[in-house]
Chains A and B, each alone.
Chain A
Amino acid sequence: MNEVYKPEKFVGKPIERVEDEALLRGVARYADDYPARLDTRHAAILRSPHAHAEIVSIDVSEALAQPGVVCVITGDDLLEYVDPFLNIVKAPMKLWPLAVERVRYVGEAVVLVVAMDRYIAEDAVDLIQVEYKLLKPAVKPEFAASEEAPVIHTECDSNVLSDREFTYGDPDKAFEECDQKVEIEIDFPRSSITPMENFVVMADYHPAENVYDVLSNFQGPFTVHPVMCRALRVKNTGLRLRTPANTGGGFGIKVAIFPYIVLMAIASRIAGKPVKWVEDRLEHLSSATAAPNRIVKIEAAAMKDGKVTAFRLDQLDDYGAFLRAPMPGPLYRMHGVTTGSYEIPNLYVRNRLVMTNKSPSGMVRGFGGPQMYFGIERVMHRVAIELGLDPLDVIEKNLISANAFPYHAAAGGVFDSGNYQAVVALAKKEGKLKELMERRDKARAEGKLYGIGYTAVTEPTHSNMGYITTILTKEERAKRSPTMGTNSNATVSVDPFGGVSCSTEVPPMGQGHATLMAQIVAEQLGLQPTEISCNMELDTQKDKWSIAAGNYSARFTSGPAVAVQMAAKMMRQKLAEIAAPNLNIPVEEVEFGNNLIFARDNPDNFLKFYRVAGTAHWSPASLPDGMAGGLSESAVWTPRELTAPDEQDRINTSLVYGFNFDFCGVEIDRDTGEVKIDHYVTAHDAGTILNPLIAHGQILGSYSHGVSEALYEEFVYGDDGSFKSGTFADYLVPSATEVPEPMVLHVETPSPLTPLGAKGLADGNCMSTPVCIANAVSDALDNIKDIQLPLFPSRVSELIHGDEPPPPERLSQAAEETPAKTSSGKSSAITGTGQSMVPADPQTVWDTLLDPIKLAVVIPGCHGLDEVAENDYRAEITLGAGPVRGKFLAHVKLSDLNEPKSVTLAGGLDGPLGSSQGEGRVRLEAVEGGTQVSYEYSVEISGKVAAVGSRLIEGGARVVVNQFFSRLIKQIETPGSVTAGEAGTPSLFQRILQWLGIN
């Protein structure tokens, strides 16, 4: 080595990922790919078709009798083994892994079947009969929060579990003194980011040690580990949780596996064998998790020049049926940032969290940021519009100035560093804002709908565990030991042959953490990143982990990566101390590079890296005095800036705060309402960038989620709480044709708080992009005030053209049948009216309708009707086609009997494919030649069948009703001509099957 050596730098370089080789060959191992023991049994779950109901009875006998079924477990069976999961507000609600006594959302797990294989288990699930007594649901958050709403958890006083007000500065005075009060209301929809890999749990109970041994693609935070342990009645050592080397995407969603971890752990104990469960997509969409939908009222106090002096926010966050750890994170982890990127000293916030009959909310990328920034950035836009100013001028006027850092935000966020003005300037210049404005002018001159939107977002990363305690009053906090800060763990080891390994406490979800770890370690030890072995599996029984461990809040670069660097530096120091005497130089002069350890000023004086490493293993007695043998260095990184909420409820919610400024141009198709992103620029300051390739990829992914939140994704619920988005044909995930590539720009202002200078950047666009697009759409549509996401073409069309006009005359027949409206705020019931002429007198028709034997013959697919009480009937009905048939239990009650003129029929169907509830009024009128039967009905459909094809069901319901009347007429005309038990609606089910690709 003759040239002067320059240490090779890897941090900051766009190095190809070390993970990719295995992934591209298809040999990378995900949770479902791990070998299972030969005696492993497989689980399937029966889920609730109802949003809110009492469980009257569960009959599992037929399922249990199936060959291959090992056991069938109900909620009651679990009570012997588990306690309810804890929640932060200590609400007395009971969240169990399976429903007990009541179901509270469609898709809630009710019964677990364990069988030889998944096919058998699913067959058995279909044979379980559950009788429910329906309860009134509370679906919309405002209703659920009202006095009239049914209380979902009877142990609680109301559905509002927490109602806290916070005042910082003097907002009332600011509003009194302002020139203009600007307000806006937001109804942020419910959505998720569905990872392509669903949940997987493989559990094995070891009775000898009383240890539940679980492999699962859980992503953390590991604050949830003790929640599981408490439920399982074990200490942390009693739940050995292992996470796999690869996971098919997380985005926060994969914390919501934890109730299933506990469920399968107990199932394994009951079954006496390992139990494996792989979630399917319908289960995932209906039941896994969602970002909470939120109602926000936000007011800004503005001066004439656009300066904003105060915000008032009233936030109502919808957590679904249960408050499940780590909820209500989305409401509080952004708390310190509630004034956004602006110098606004006065703030009032009211935070309420409400329970509704929807799937429980959870962690989703952005974690409260998309909801909060949608309000803030929409109101900033409105400030500009209402004062007649330029929206970008208003943003720039209020941005935190570069010399104000570290900036203490009103609610307690301490923004470590930044230069927001530099980011905006870069975006304007490189992103060609001037040209974009000319483009807008030109498009508008041509009569096109074109708009430009802007957003500025401060992105908090690396959460302070203490933020969640802001939900408690200071008196409540004083009663418990304070929670604050985070730890991050990492270990670097060198083996006797010089092989280097590194591990940390973050289950990988695809971000490329192994590459970043390899870069950091290789740079310290003078090796190549490809030479560093990073085993990304995590084992709570054997690895070092902290309670803050996990993959969330973009904490890797400012957390575990720092611990990796600390451990690598410790290793470097130790190796230098071993090498120095042998090189005959002081330790300070030892350098590393090219697999050598050498004298910095005389590279010819060197030792091979593996030789030095070997010394520590093969001849520990020769090590310098006081030095421990072996080569394994572990570091813990604990930033001290993260303190508990103070007396004034100020909380520094995160360690570091990045920033991004976005602008975009959108064109709206006047005819279809389609929003097309024409130009999108996003400029970031995330401190030091560790790997530009990976950073770029994170921003593109985050942006893509922002686009889909803005334009496509929404979990839709009917008024009865039925779930309508159970497939990827109903829940729209954008494909390559819907996500144009944005321009990504960077400014690097290193954080002074982390040794690497890096901040997170993976969430910013989830927060900025939805509202940036919304602001652009508003600009395109004459500054329209109310923008409801997602901006489906139909919704935008309504904004352009107003409500749909009534259909022309010739379609009036069809118009009588009002289809289910799936957009929120409108009725989801299938309703219809009709009339038929029956050639018999009203009394004959009446007698047929009220005679169970005759009626049984008329109902399509009915196998006999039992009168269980007066005018109260039960029946078993088969609806189906081809190889798949669904058996349903029907119940019908007759009321308002006015013989022989009118009767009301109310009832429903329940079966493995779903359930329905309906009511109809039938009127009989004597006319010439017989009886005019007129009817009106309203049917709500719920469960699996509604989730996977509600659009197809509407037609099917009508077919059943029509069949009923045609059979009635036929039966009266020619008694005996109708055969009982004929399956109804073949066309409907065939259509679903074909559409699902099964038939």
Chain B
Amino acid sequence: MPKLNQDSLQKIDFTLNGVAETGTAEPRMLLSDFLRNVMGVTGCHVGCEHGVCGACTVQIDGKAQRSCLTLAVQVAGRKVDTVESLAGRENPLTDLQQAFKTHHGLQCGYCTPGILMSTSEFLDRNPNPTEEEVRDMLSGHLCRCTGYAGIVNAIMATIEERQGKAAAE
């Protein structure tokens, strides 16, 4: 890994939500700040900046990661997906997003993008989890509004629906 001068701006070429992008950042800039304040991707929310609350979770090369515990320079050459990647601005909501709507899985919506990014990766890896496993996965995210029941119900409903579809095919 090259040694970076702390005051020099680094050029960061990376893939953001499927599009090749370039931005600049000092070596110490957090990925969360870079996404929000340099790239203008404000769906990535900052809740604690010490890795506990999970609001800033994004996917880096397909894996859910805390963008507040990642430096911007670390994503050079990599693929970063934020909540804006799920349905984009105008496509229909994904089944998971729609389930959050149906089951009232969000209130203020501040923690939601992080939860969606963790959950979508989790369900790719583990399409048939138990409720206990879902709650365990969610324990990396703090939500103050919902008491989690709506979130859990939305995810369980998505799993059920996907299984129904898979069985029908």
A residues near B (Cβ < 8 Å) are: 16-17, 19-21, 23-30, 32-33, 118-119, 193-198, 246-251, 280-281, 509-512, 693-694, 696-697, 700-705, 707, 727-729, 733, 735-737, 739, 741, 948, 996-997
Contact = CB atoms under 8 A, between A and B. Distances in A.
Contact of A511 (B36, B107, B111, B112): B107
Interface in B121-169: 134-136, 138-152
B148 A694 contact: no
Contact of A196 (B47, B50, B86, B150): B47
B13 interface: no
Nearest to B47: A196
Contacts of A248: 45, 47, 108-111
Interface in B7-48: 26, 28-29, 33, 36, 41-48
A119 B86 CA distance: 31
Given A248-B108, A733-B144, A196 B49 contact: no
B112 A23 contact: yes
Contacts of A696: 104
A27 B100 contact: no
A247 B109 CA distance: 9
Interface residues of B, number: 61
Contacts of B141: 735-736
A25 B93 contact: yes
A997 B111 contact: no
Contact of B135 (A25, A30, A737): A737
A702 to B, nearest CB: 8
B93 A24 contact: yes
B97 A194 contact: no
Instruction: Give me the 3 closest cross-chain CB pairs, A-B, nearest first.
Output: A26-B43, A510-B108, A248-B110
Nearest to B139: A735
Contacts of B42: 26, 29-30, 32-33
B106 interface: yes
Nearest to B149: A741
A694 B101 contact: no
Contact of B136 (A21, A728, A737, A996): A737
A979 B152 CA distance: 59
A257 to B, nearest CB: 16
19 contacts: A16-B102, A20-B100, A24-B109, A25-B89, A26-B41, A26-B43, A196-B53, A246-B108, A251-B144, A510-B109, A512-B107, A700-B147, A701-B107, A701-B145, A727-B52, A739-B149, A741-B152, A996-B51, A997-B66
B138 A736 contact: yes
B59 interface: no
Given A704-B148, A733-B142, A694 B104 contact: yes
B39 to A, nearest CB: 13
B26 A119 contact: yes
A997 B148 CA distance: 26
Given A29-B42, A246-B108, A727 B48 contact: yes
Given A26-B84, A196-B144, A736 B45 contact: no
Contacts of B134: 736
B116 interface: yes
A996 B97 contact: no
Contact of A697 (B36, B49, B150): B150
Residue with the greatest number of chain B CB neighbours at <10 A, chosen from A198, A246, A693, A700: A700
Contact of A119 (B29, B108, B149): B29
A281 B32 CA distance: 15
Nearest to B137: A736
A704 B107 CA distance: 14
Given A33-B36, A33-B42, 19 more contacts: A21-B101, A23-B112, A24-B93, A24-B101, A25-B43, A25-B83, A26-B41, A26-B83, A194-B144, A195-B144, A196-B143, A248-B47, A249-B107, A249-B145, A702-B147, A705-B144, A736-B138, A739-B149, A997-B51
Contacts of B80: none
Contacts of B87: 24-25
Residue with the greatest number of chain A CB neighbours at <10 A, chosen from B49, B50, B51, B112: B50
A44 to B, nearest CB: 13
Contacts of B142: 196, 728, 733, 735
* A interface SS class: loop
* B interface SS class: loop
Nearest to A197: B110
B109 A23 contact: yes
Contact of A17 (B33, B43, B101): B101
B48 A25 contact: no
B139 A737 contact: yes
Contacts of A30: 42, 45, 110
Nearest to B108: A510
Contact of A728 (B50, B66, B108): B50
Contacts of B93: 21, 24-25
Contact of A736 (B28, B29, B102, B139): B139
Given A119-B28, A510-B108, A27 B147 contact: no
A512 to B, nearest CB: 7
Contacts of A694: 104
Contacts of B36: 32-33
A697 B113 CA distance: 19
A324 B165 CA distance: 57
Contact of B47 (A25, A29, A197, A693): A197
A24 B100 contact: yes
Residue with the greatest number of chain A CB neighbours at <10 A, chosen from B52, B87, B102: B52
A281 B53 CA distance: 10
Contacts of B53: 196, 281, 728
B147 A701 contact: yes
Contacts of B104: 17, 693-694, 696-697
Contacts of B116: 24
A115 to B, nearest CB: 14
B32 to A, nearest CB: 11
Contact of B112 (A24, A33, A693, A697): A24
A694 B106 CA distance: 10
B101 A16 contact: yes
Given A26-B43, A246-B109, A736 B49 contact: no
Nearest to A247: B108
A25 B84 contact: yes
A989 to B, nearest CB: 15
A648 B143 CA distance: 44
B55 interface: yes
A468 B145 CA distance: 28
A19 B84 CA distance: 16
Contacts of A997: 50-51, 66, 69
Nearest to A510: B108
A622 to B, nearest CB: 40
B113 A736 contact: no
A767 to B, nearest CB: 16
A65 to B, nearest CB: 16
B163 to A, nearest CB: 21
Given A24-B101, A25-B83, A197-B47, A510 B107 contact: yes
Nearest to A698: B107
Residue with the greatest number of chain B CB neighbours at <10 A, chosen from A119, A280, A728, A729: A728
Nearest to A729: B52
Contacts of A701: 107, 144-147
B109 A193 contact: no
A24 B52 contact: no
Contacts of B135: 736-737
A328 B142 CA distance: 30
A656 to B, nearest CB: 22
Contact of B45 (A21, A197, A703, A727): A197
A948 B50 CA distance: 10
Contacts of A23: 106, 109, 112
Contacts of B151: 736
B51 A196 contact: no
A20 B106 contact: yes
Contacts of B106: 20, 23-24, 510
Contacts of A25: 43, 83-84, 86-89, 93, 97
